[in-house]
């Protein structure tokens, strides 16, 4: 067991003896000492100490101890995510150096599985990795080959996160040169007769066009067409072979060309050559170079998909920006560029000019009254009165008097006659907010007015005709209420000539940022407008906003009151943090917190997985993998 200075820093004085016993080759005693120290401590065992425990068990070497080490590693893997791969690689490398090929292969296979899960490598990559692990398990690979395999597995994980294709291929070339010990090399894309130089090492792209590269170019084209690796050892070629003269003049002793296995007509090729005998351009190294090329192909596919997604997002954002500007010219009081809002704008275009009744449906806080005012002000009755009333906030008798008016002496306190809102709105618009809260008797009275166009005051005998456009709104599901008998079907049809569904804020991906941009300066009223950090804004975007825009307005007012120049996630209200499982949230596992985050993101994105992945800050493939695993775990 080798001394690890990084691990030593984590050890307290009382555990230093454990470390020394391990170094002295007494792992069983060290493990006993570690267990005694753990028994006397109330603190949970740290990652470093659990890694030491696994290494000590590994040093003991018995099947039971090895099984226990693997169990410790599995717990580490579940709890520490990406660190598991480094743990497995470290143990695999140690076992390989000590000649324990079977154990080394077991650890490396686990690391390979993690790389595959992270990067989504293809079948060819998996086949090559499996072959190398089999060679290691059978003892056919030397110490250098084992270290190369470990390095490649680690490199594959790093490649999986690359997003720039050219930068990625430059990394691949550097790794290939180091792996083969080559003097120079380059990566090219073959497009018919054209070669596009992507990355070089110790050679300029312009040199590839010179006559000396003729044979190399022929080699590249052959490999790109056959998709098979080719190795040239100059000393083994016949004297009349074209490469003997052209490459020999440059002092090159060996050259290798490895295809990057990609679908389609465009082929990528890794070319390496060397002048000396120290280079490892030999058949055993070719297997690892092919494995590297397979990793590059998968990572290149990911990078291109990422690049394509970014371009698509840029186009979509530009389209939404134009749509927002266009719509704000017509509906300047409404902010929103999401698909749901675009649909609502189209519906407004249809219903506003008609002058017919409109039923606005939406959750509390979505801005139904604002939309009613917009429909009136843009409609044919804009020059007349808009009269509003909240039907859910008044007793039945008072609501009747407010709507229809009353005569003097109609009830106690009616000391004079008073016109109702229908009469006041004559020629204009009457907005009935929360119309779903009306009693059955009031529903019947309202229906009579809508059918006849005549109003009779409470306590009166005469009727008067009115011409009113009625706009009503409710947060209730009126269709369900009609089916259950809680709301009159005939009244529903009278009110619902046109319906307008207002989407909740959680169904409007991207709109929250626009609302913050609009509301914050307005609420600040000349004061300095704070800036949100990226994490704070992400929290706001994934919150489900049960109170919708009204709740957002309230939250922004509270944040302004802090007087801070920057708003971080710690400054957000507790209810928003609790929604992510933080602070005072009920106890739960990391997986449960992740499940909640995924559910919120999907709900915010309206079920669109690409948008949900963007909100979560992960790529689409990772989100699909997480969702698939959860679905499989949920199956009985």
pLDDT class of 103 with cuts at 50, 70, 90: low
Picking from 135, 159, 183, the residue at the C-terminal end of a domain is: 159
Domain assignment of residue 333, yes or no: no
Number of domains in the chain: 4
- The verdict on residue 328 lying in a domain is no
| Least confident piece of the model among 396-405, 473-482, 612-621 | 612-621
Question: What CATH code is carried by the domain that includes residue 577?
Answer: 1.10.8.60
Percent residues over pLDDT 90 in the chain: 23
- pLDDT of 282: 64
Structure tokens at 188: 């090219």
526 Rama sector, left if φ>0, alpha if ψ -120 to 50, beta otherwise = left
Q: Is 66 a member of any domain? A: yes
Shared domain check, 599 and 473: no
> Do 441 and 485 share a domain, yes or no?
yes
In which residue are the tokens 């300066």 written?
Answer: 521
Any idea which residue has 């994934």 for tokens? Answer: 542
Q: DSSP labels for 187-210? A: EEEEETTEEEEEEEESS-GGGGGS
Q: What percent of the chain has pLDDT over 70?
A: 66
Judged against a pLDDT cut of 80, whether residue 467 lies above it is answered with yes
Pair 369, 468 in one domain: yes
Q: For residues 369 and 608, which has the higher predicted lDDT (pLDDT)?
A: 369
Residue 321 lies in a domain: no
Handedness of CA 163, 169, 175, 176 (dihedral sign): positive
Q: What is the pLDDT of residue 209?
A: 64
What tens digit of pLDDT does each residue of 106-127 get?
666 666 565 444 444 445 445 5
Residues 6+ apart with CB under 8 A from 314: none
Query: Do 412 and 488 fall within a single domain?
Result: yes
Q: Are residues 298 and 171 in the same domain?
A: yes
**In a shared domain, residues 548 and 516:** yes
Structure tokens at 319: 């389209």
Q: What is the pLDDT of residues 276-320, one digit of tens each?
A: 654 556 666 787 788 778 777 776 776 676 666 667 666 656 655
Q: What 3-state DSSP class applies to 469?
A: strand
CA 252: distance to chain centroid? 49
Give per-residue pLDDT as tens, 624-635.
Answer: 777 777 666 655
Position 315 in a domain: no
CATH number of the domain that 458 lies in? 3.40.50.300
Same domain, 153 and 136: yes
DSSP 564-608: -SEE-GGGS-HHHHHTTT-TTPPP--HHHHHHHHHHHHHHHTTT-
Residue ending a domain, among 472, 503, 534, is 503
Structure tokens at 448: 């009579």
CATH code, domain with 176: 3.30.450.40
pLDDT band for position 328 (cuts 50, 70, 90) = very low
pLDDT at 88 over 80: no
Residue 554 has pLDDT above 60, yes or no: yes
- Verify that 483 and 538 share a domain, yes or no: no
pLDDT at 453 over 90: yes
Burial call 126-162: b when 16+ CB within 10 Å, e when fewer: bebbeebbebbbeeebeeebbebbbbbbbbbbbbbeb
Q: What angle do CA 370, 376, 377 make, to 5 degrees?
A: 85
Q: What is the mean pLDDT of residues 211-225?
A: 74
Same domain as 528, residue 498? no
Q: Are residues 124 and 177 located together in one domain of the fold?
A: no
Query: Which of 121, 8, 108 lies closest to 100 in space, CA to CA?
Result: 108
The residue among 107, 212, 181, 197 whose CA lies nearest residue 150 is 107
| Assigned domain for 331 exists | no
Do 473 and 375 sit in the same domain of this protein?
A: yes
Q: What DSSP element (H or E) covers 274? A: strand 267-274
Q: 3-state DSSP call for residue 185? A: strand
Provide the pLDDT confidence category of residue 574 given band limits of 50, 70 and 90: confident
3-state secondary structure of 513: helix
Q: Which domain holds residue 452?
A: 339-503
**pLDDT at residue 549 greater than cutoff 90:** yes
Angle at alpha carbon of residue 403, lines to 399 and 405, rounded to 5°: 105
Is 322 a domain residue? no
The Cα-based distances of 2 to 18, 23, 87 in angstroms read 13, 7, 15
Given 159, 190, 222, the domain boundary residue is 159
Q: Is residue 576 part of a domain?
A: yes
Q: What is the pLDDT of residue 616?
A: 72
Shared domain for 137 and 180, answered yes or no, is: no
């Amino acid at each position: 067991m080798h001394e690890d200075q990084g691990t030593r820093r984590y050890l307290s004085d009382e555990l230093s003896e454990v470390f020394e016993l391990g170094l002295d080759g007494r792992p069983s005693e060290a493990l006993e000492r570690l267990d005694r120290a753990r028994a006397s401590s109330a603190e949970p065992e740290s990652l470093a100490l659990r890694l030491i425990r696994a290494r000590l068990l590994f040093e003991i070497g018995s099947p039971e101890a090895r099984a226990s080490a693997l169990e410790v590693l599995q717990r580490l893997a579940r709890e520490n995510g990406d660190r598991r791969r480094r743990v497995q690689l470290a143990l695999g490398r140690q076992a390989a150096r000590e000649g324990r090929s079977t154990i080394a292969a077991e650890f490396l296979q686990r690391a390979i599985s993690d790389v595959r899960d992270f990067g989504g490598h293809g079948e060819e990559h998996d086949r090559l990795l499996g072959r190398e692990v089999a060679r290691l398990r059978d003892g056919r690979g030397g110490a250098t080959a084992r270290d190369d395999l470990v390095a490649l597995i680690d490199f594959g994980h790093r490649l999986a996160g690359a997003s720039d294709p050219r930068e990625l291929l430059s990394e691949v070339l550097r790794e290939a040169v180091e792996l083969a010990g080559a003097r120079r090399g380059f990566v090219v894309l073959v497009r018919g007769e054209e070669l596009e130089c992507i990355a070089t090492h110790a050679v300029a792209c312009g040199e590839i066009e010179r006559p000396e590269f003729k044979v190399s170019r022929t080699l590249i084209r052959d490999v790109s067409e056959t998709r098979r690796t080719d190795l040239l050892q100059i000393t083994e070629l016949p004297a009349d072979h074209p490469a003997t003269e052209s490459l020999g003049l440059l002092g090159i002793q060996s050259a290798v060309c490895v295809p990057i296995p990609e679908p389609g007509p465009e082929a990528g090729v890794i070319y390496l050559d060397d002048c000396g005998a120290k280079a490892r351009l030999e058949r055993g190294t070719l297997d690892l170079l092919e494995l590297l090329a397979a990793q590059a192909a998968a990572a290149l596919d990911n990078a291109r998909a990422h690049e394509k997604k970014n371009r698509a997002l840029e186009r979509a954002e530009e389209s939404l920006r134009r749509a927002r500007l266009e719509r704000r010219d017509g509906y300047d009081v409404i902010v929103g560029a999401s698909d749901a809002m675009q649909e609502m704008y189209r519906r407004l275009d249809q219903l506003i000019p008609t002058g017919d009744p409109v039923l606005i449906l939406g959750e509390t806080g979505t801005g139904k009254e604002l939309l009613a005012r917009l429909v009136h002000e843009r409609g044919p009755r804009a020059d007349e009165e808009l009269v509003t009333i909240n039907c859910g906030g008044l007793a039945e008798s008072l609501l009747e008097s407010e709507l229809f008016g009353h005569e003097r002496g109609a009830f106690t306190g009616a000391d004079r006659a008073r016109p109702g809102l229908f009469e006041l709105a004559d020629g204009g618009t009457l907005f009935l907010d929360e119309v779903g809260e009306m009693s059955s008797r009031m529903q019947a009275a309202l229906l009579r007015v809508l059918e006849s166009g005549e109003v009779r005051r409470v306590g009166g005998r005469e009727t008067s005709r009115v011409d009113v456009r009625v706009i009503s709104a409710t947060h209730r599901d009126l269709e369900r209420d009609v089916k259950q008998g809680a709301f009159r079907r005939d009244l529903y049809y009278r009110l619902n000539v046109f319906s307008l569904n207002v989407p909740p804020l959680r169904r409007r991906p991207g709109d929250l940022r626009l609302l913050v941009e609009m509301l914050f300066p307005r609420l600040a009223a000349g004061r300095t407008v704070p800036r949100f950090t990226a994490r704070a804004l992400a929290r706001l975007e994934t919150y489900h906003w049960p109170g919708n825009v009204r709740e957002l307005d309230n939250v922004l007012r509270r944040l302004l009151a802090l007087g801070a120049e920057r708003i971080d996630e710690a400054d957000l209200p507790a209810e928003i943090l609790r929604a992510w499982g933080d602070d005072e949230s009920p106890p739960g596992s990391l997986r449960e917190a992740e499940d909640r985050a995924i559910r919120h993101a999907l709900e915010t994105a309206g079920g669109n997985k690409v948008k949900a992945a963007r909100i979560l800050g992960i790529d689409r493939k990772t989100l699909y993998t997480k969702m698939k695993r959860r679905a499989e775990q949920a199956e009985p």
